[in-house]
């Protein structure tokens, strides 16, 4: 296992070996990242490794969801205070030492350095299989830079490995955007039409392009709605993806072959851990419901207004745990500390609940997220693959891009709404698109970006005052500033 990386300089020095005979399977089982050729599988595996931590200590999921209007981690008396780090995200009072803000940077650059190392090794070949591998590496490098400019704005843009600068300076966000878009577009012709979920494919690259173009006005100051729509069209035209019949089917435990998921992180409860969001949201006694060998931690919950935004008939409401809870055999669960039945109430009385609140309020407040299936006997890590890109998102992006160009996006948003069992819309507005994206993409780490694009991220909401425009990006972590004088 590689050492913890503390700066770009350390990244480069630790990654100086280019011997492709080294074992690359110590972190990710090779069969989780299938490629079209053995060489591609051997070479590209390390580039995906940083994704394993995105939902947990890598900080990315926390930074996208807990800062938004849909997920909250309230302090529950003596539990979940953690030095106020969750409240700082919720109230937009983070600084460059806040854990989630500080953790993302190294994970993203770790993937970039791996890509740079391998691209340098392979470049110069005219072999079609090698060109395909280089294209995939460049798309993954672009993916990590997309996450960097989305979260941090201006960042060092480094594409060299052996000749990389020791202390790179920041590159303007718009320049990084232009460079990675050019890389993706140049790489797409060399990438196969494969429907592999856990590696770069042509449709994965087009979905990444759609994300970049959809947010181009934020990243560069110039909107590119038509190009966003075109990228979505390329995914749709592939014919490789479709909506599942059930809204929650893309999130079941065995979702490896879901026709809806485009690009996923292949978690496994034993061999590829890192998906423990169920531990953070389920109540202390939810192990009795799922016959879990471990006890969950009773933390994260849906914001009450977000939960209430779903109609009663919306099938996506099944992705929340509310009301009286039962054991796996059907008996009512009693919370022993509260001395009363475990009845989960969507209402959360305060962001910080101290001893003045009742045990029921502290322990049972807030709808819990069970959107991702929790299998009977689930452990402290789930085996569900996490969709980074999903077809429903492509349809909603297509609808939004059309509306922003003065056209109707009804047909595409209604495909998603019909699947959820709610009525179709006519004359869909941008505000409605934002609301529907919240309901459909909940818990999938899209909300912060969506709110920023719609100009709503700095608005006031429950237990959060209006914040300033500088909150639309995170500050460069202090440890990075300490290690690089040019930042």
Please write the tens of the pLDDT for every residue from 174-218: 999 999 999 999 999 999 888 899 999 999 999 999 999 999 999
Query: What is the reported pTM?
Result: 0.92
Are β-strands 75-76 and 352-353 bridged in parallel, bridged antiparallel, or unpaired?
A: parallel
Please write the tens of the pLDDT for every residue from 96-132: 999 999 999 999 999 999 999 999 999 999 999 999 9
Give the pLDDT score at 20: 28
* Domains and their CATH numbers in the chain: 8-192+473-483 (1.25.40.390), 277-381 (no CATH)
C-alpha to C-alpha distance for 303 and 66, rounded to whole angstroms? 10
Label residues 453-475 b or e (16+ Cβ within 10 Å = b).
beeebbeebeebeebeeebbbbb
Give the pLDDT score at 18: 29
208 phi, psi to nearest 5 deg: -60, -40
Packing angle of the helix pair 202-214, 225-237 (nearest 10 deg): 160
The residues of the chain scoring below 70 in pLDDT are 1-43
Please write the tens of the pLDDT for every residue from 309-366: 999 999 999 999 999 999 999 999 999 999 999 999 999 999 999 999 999 999 999 9
Give the pLDDT score at 43: 62
List Cα–Cα distances, 28 to 67, 122, 358, in angstroms: 30, 22, 45
Task: Name the token pair of 339.
Answer: 């001395």
> Contact 55/386 with Cβ under 8 angstroms?
yes
Give the pLDDT score at 44: 75
CA 323 to chain centre: 28
C-alpha to C-alpha distance for 285 and 277, rounded to whole angstroms? 16
C-alpha to C-alpha distance for 310 and 300, rounded to whole angstroms? 19
Nearest one of 301, 317, 146 to 246, comparing CA atoms = 317
Residues whose CB falls within 8 Å of the CB of residue 356, separated by 6 or more in sequence, listed in order: none
């Amino acid at each position: 296992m590689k050492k913890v990386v503390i700066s770009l300089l350390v990244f480069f020095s630790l990654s100086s070996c280019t011997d492709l005979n080294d074992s690359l399977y110590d972190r990710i089982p090779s069969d989780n990242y299938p490629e079209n050729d053995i060489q591609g599988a051997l070479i590209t595996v390390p580039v995906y490794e940083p994704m394993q931590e995105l939902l947990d200590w890598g900080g990315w999921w926390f930074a996208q969801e807990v800062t938004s209007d849909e997920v909250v981690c309230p302090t529950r008396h003596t539990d979940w205070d953690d030095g106020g780090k969750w409240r700082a995200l919720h109230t937009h009072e983070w600084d460059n030492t806040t854990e989630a803000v500080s953790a993302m940077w190294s994970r993203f650059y770790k993937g970039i350095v791996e890509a740079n190392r391998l691209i340098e090794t392979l470049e110069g070949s005219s072999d079609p299989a090698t060109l395909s591998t280089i294209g995939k590496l460049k798309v993954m490098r672009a993916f990590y830079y997309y996450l960097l400019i989305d979260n941090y704005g201006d960042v060092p843009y480094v594409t060299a490995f052996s000749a990389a600068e020791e202390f790179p300076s920041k590159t303007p966000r718009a320049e990084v955007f232009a460079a990675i878009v050019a890389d993706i577009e140049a790489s797409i012709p060399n990438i196969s039409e494969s429907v592999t979920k856990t590696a770069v494919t042509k449709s994965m690259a087009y979905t990444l392009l759609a994300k970049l173009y959809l947010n181009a006005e934020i990243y560069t100051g110039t909107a590119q709605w038509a190009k966003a729509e075109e990228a979505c069209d390329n995914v749709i035209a592939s014919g490789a993806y479709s909506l599942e019949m059930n809204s929650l089917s893309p999130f079941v435990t065995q979702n490896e072959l879901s026709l809806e998921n485009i690009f996923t992180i292949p978690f496994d409860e034993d061999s590829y851990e890192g998906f423990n969001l169920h531990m953070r949201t389920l109540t202390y006694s939810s192990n009795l419901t799922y016959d879990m060998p471990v006890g969950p931690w009773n933390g994260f919950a849906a914001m009450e207004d977000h939960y209430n935004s779903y109609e009663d008939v919306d099938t996506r409401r099944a992705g929340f745990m509310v009301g009286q809870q039962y054991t796996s055999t059907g008996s009512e669960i009693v919370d022993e500390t509260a001395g009363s039945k475990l009845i989960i109430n969507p209402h959360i009385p305060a962001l910080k609940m101290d001893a003045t609140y009742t045990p029921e309020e502290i322990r049972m407040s807030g709808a819990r997220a069970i959107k991702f299936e929790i299998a009977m006997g689930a452990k402290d890590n789930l085996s569900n693959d996490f969709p980074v890109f999903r077809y429903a998102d492509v349809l909603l992006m297509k609808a939004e891009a059309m509306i922003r160009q003065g056209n109707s996006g009804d047909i595409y948003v209604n495909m998603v709404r019909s699947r959820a069992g709610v009525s179709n819309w006519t004359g869909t507005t941008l505000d409605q698109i934002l609301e529907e994206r919240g309901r459909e993409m909940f818990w999938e780490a899209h909300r912060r970006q969506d709110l920023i694009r719609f100009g709503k991220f700095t608005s006031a909401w429950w237990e959060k005052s209006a914040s300033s425009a500088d909150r639309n990006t995170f500050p460069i972590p202090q440890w990075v500033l300490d290690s690089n004088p040019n930042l």
